[in-house]
Amino acid sequence: MEPTVGVTPPRVLTIAGTDSGGGAGIAADLRAFAACGVHGCLAVCAVTVQNSVGVSGVHTIPAGTVAAQIGTVASDIGLQAAKTGMLADAEIIDAVATACDEHGIGAGRTTPFVVDPVAASMHGDPLLAAEALDAYRHTLFPRATLVTPNLDEIRLLVEHDIRDRDGQYAAAEALHALGPGAVLVKGGHLTGDADGCLDLLYDGATFVELPGPRFDTGHTHGGGDSLAAATASGLARGLSLEAAVRFGKRYIVEAVRHSYPLGAGHGPVSPLWAVRPWWDDPA
């Protein structure tokens, strides 16, 4: 018998929804975790019926079952970071907040917590009950180490209609006032910014501009999820917040560069761009 050689990696929990098309949500998160060298755990909040063209059904998981998934993983496996994706409704958000409090997940606690406030799919299909916005503003944001909204989510959360870089700065301040440790205002949806894609990090004291390339692709499904998952992985690996966000940005630039068409609609970013094709090696 041969000895095994595995070493337990850092563990990261995604609290999110499934996408039957395999591009976004938990499918994206778990692949990003694998690509970033961490072990992924999952608390499923909702099952979506979806393909590359749109979302045709949503089935939410009972809030108590979401909380139980978080608790059972945190108490046994232990977590070095957690992130949220599609939480679907206010009852689930409240249950997530309580479970995080009970298990040391959140800003200033042992386990850093990245909140990606998913509200809609790329096609505009709602993934969040409208009345849940207040739960994000008042319950989850104050517990977050980092929040990572896109421009559409920012419009819903703080009513800032961002059109340029100054708008990104103003929105960062408004979002930070809701209480998270830090804010990443993602510029991916700022279509006028033909020169590139600038994300802005703000921790209440310092602004950090994170420039990056913009790619000519409509296939960015799952991009926000992958960025938040990679950033959470960076935190789990012990990086500082700024270093973890840079790690996430470096990862997502390559995932978008390798994005691919799928089905008749929007294809996904490629979360496994870094995986070496071992199957081409001689056996």
Query: Does the protein bind ligand PXL through residue 222 (CB under 6 A)?
Result: yes
Stretch that binds ligand PXL, among 15-23, 145-153, 179-187, 245-253 (CB under 6 A): 15-23
Residue sitting closest to ligand PXL (CB): 25
Stretch that binds ligand PXL, among 11-19, 64-72, 129-137, 178-186 (CB under 6 A): 11-19
Query: Does the protein bind ligand PXL through residue 226 (CB under 6 A)?
Result: no
Site string for ligand PXL, 30-69 (x = CB under 6 A): ------------------x-x-------------------
Query: Does the protein bind ligand PXL through residue 19 (CB under 6 A)?
Result: yes
Site string for ligand PXL, 116-145 (x = CB under 6 A): --x--xx----x------------------
Looking at the DSSP bridge assignments, the partners of residue 183 are: 147, 202
Task: Give the total of residues touching ligand PXL (CB under 6 A).
Answer: 17
Query: Does the protein bind ligand PXL through residue 153 (CB under 6 A)?
Result: no
In the list 224, 248, 267, 268, the residue contacting ligand PXL (rule: CB under 6 A) is 224
In the list 79, 86, 175, 269, the residue contacting ligand PXL (rule: CB under 6 A) is 86
Closest CA to 24 of 227, 244, 235: 227
User: Rule CB under 6 A: which residues touch ligand PXL?
Assistant: 16-19, 24-25, 48, 50, 85-86, 118, 121-122, 127, 222, 224-225
